[in-house]
Amino acid sequence: MDTTKIKEKFNSLYGEDGVLYTSPGRINLIGEHTDYNGGFVLPGAVDKAMYCEIKPNGRDKVRAFALDLNEPTEFSLHEEDKPKEGWAKYIFGVCREMNKKGREISGFDIVISGDVPLGAGMSSSAALECAVGFALNDLFSLGFTRRELALIGQATEHNYVGVKCGIMDQFISCLGKKGSLIRLDCRSLEYEYVPFAPKGYKLVLINTCVEHNLAAGGEYNKRRESCERVVAEIAKKHPEVKLLRDATLDQLKEVKGKTDATDYIRSEFVIEEIQRLLDTCEALQKNDYETVGKKMYETHEGLSKKYSVSCPELDFLNEQAKKYGVTGSRVMGGGFGGCTINLVKEDKMDEFVKEASEAYEKEFHIKPKAYDVVIGDGARKL
């Protein structure tokens, strides 16, 4: 992204130059709604990111400006002085979480902007938290590791945004590496880089342009609560089960009838999805992309029918993918709108994107957007 406008705005608002930082959005190949259940995920950072130019101002206030919304705000760093603008809560939350860990941050000036599409399931919010976290850590020499910065971003979502998210988005935004996915164990936070350059295939996202908002209606948090209730029931007999990651399908079957039917079917999806990710990693090692694609379709089916986080627009794009011989396709991220991720043979890509987009527009009177996936680096100073 061209960052000239950020620099110009910063200078015109605050009369000097700051330092520019960035942190990316993400894709996730497979492993959805598994992170807060202690399972595995397989995300990669993308070349779309949030940017912030920032400089300490020697006062006790933060002066912030959201360039894409053309909106200024000012707040102090005390708990009671929470800003009212939604976007500013991410900045405020990161500062507060750092403060809770015993670090002192004084006032600063900041301009934010970015090209991660909002509400597209590509983690624009995590990208913002991580850009701000990385910047403050560097400018005020706070000594946090990238892993700790990811946890600070996640805590910001929990405590200042109200989404009880897992660790996937912030982790990949902080630790992403060009050309690689990360296979992350969300229980231990152990991870390994998995080089991803499938020969003859491409990843493409299609954005339904139906904006998802995970905080609205609390649907995301309700999914998490369903899983937690089932864990509590299983743990009565199997106290070693602390998360769905620890449970087997047989243990789940034992509580059938004792748990709410919706909770049950959601938990079944999660346990299956954790196994699907492991199977996908095995297929990746063998360069068996047909199996990877098959698993992606299975995930879509599960997210739609069992976990109930799809929507007619996403299901339609999934059907289109099947129609045009796309190798794998599924709803990506939290769901309820946003993008599908598609693994498609290079020679089928153009036809699929064109035909599916036209059919989609005809059906829903919304113009979808397609993005080629380029796996990029995590948070950094520019």
Interface ranges with ligand GLA (CB under 6 A)? 32-33, 35-36, 123, 165-166, 168-169, 333-334
Q: Give the nearer residue to ligand GLA in terms of CB position, either 124 or 251.
A: 124
Q: Give the nearer residue to ligand GLA in terms of CB position, either 36 or 90.
A: 36
Q: What tokens were used for 245? A: 């990651």
Pairing relation of β-strands 201-207 and 328-331?
unpaired
52 vs 59: CA distance, rounded Å:
19
Cβ 6 to ligand GLA shortest distance, Å = 25
Q: What tokens were used for 27? A: 């894709």
Pairing relation of β-strands 369-372 and 71-76?
unpaired
Which residues share a beta bridge with 283?
Answer: none
Residues in CB range of 80: below 8 A, 6 or more apart? none
Q: Looking up tokens 């999934």, which residue turns up? A: 318
Contact 23, 130 (CB under 8 A): yes
Q: What tokens were used for 138? A: 């560097």
Q: Give the nearer residue to ligand GLA in terms of CB position, either 36 or 201.
A: 36
Q: Give the nearer residue to ligand GLA in terms of CB position, either 87 or 352.
A: 87
Q: Give the nearer residue to ligand GLA in terms of CB position, either 24 or 334.
A: 334
Residues in CB range of 113: below 8 A, 6 or more apart? 1, 3, 5, 6, 50, 51, 52, 66, 67, 68
Q: Which of 68, 81, 138, 169 is catalytic?
A: 169
Cβ 141 to ligand GLA shortest distance, Å = 29
Q: Give the nearer residue to ligand GLA in terms of CB position, either 6 or 165.
A: 165
Q: Give the nearer residue to ligand GLA in terms of CB position, either 194 or 215.
A: 215
Cβ 142 to ligand GLA shortest distance, Å = 24
Q: Looking up tokens 């295939």, which residue turns up? A: 201
Neighbouring C-alpha atoms within 13 Å toward the C-beta of 300: 28
CA angle, corner 154, sides to 188 and 79, nearest 5? 135
- The conformation of residue 15, written as its DSSP 8-state character, comes to S
Residues in CB range of 185: below 8 A, 6 or more apart? 40, 191
DSSP helix/strand/coil, 238: coil
Cβ 165 to ligand GLA shortest distance, Å = 3
Cβ 321 to ligand GLA shortest distance, Å = 19
Question: Active-site residue 169, yes or no?
Answer: yes
Give, rounded to a whole angstrom, the gap between the first and last alpha carbons of the chain. 12
Torsion of CA 145, 150, 152, 156, to 10 degrees: 160
Q: Give the nearer residue to ligand GLA in terms of CB position, either 6 or 168.
A: 168
Name the residue among 144, 142, 139 with its Cα closest to residue 57.
Answer: 139
Residues in CB range of 342: below 8 A, 6 or more apart? 203, 204, 205, 206, 321, 326, 328, 329, 352
Positions annotated as catalytic residues are 169
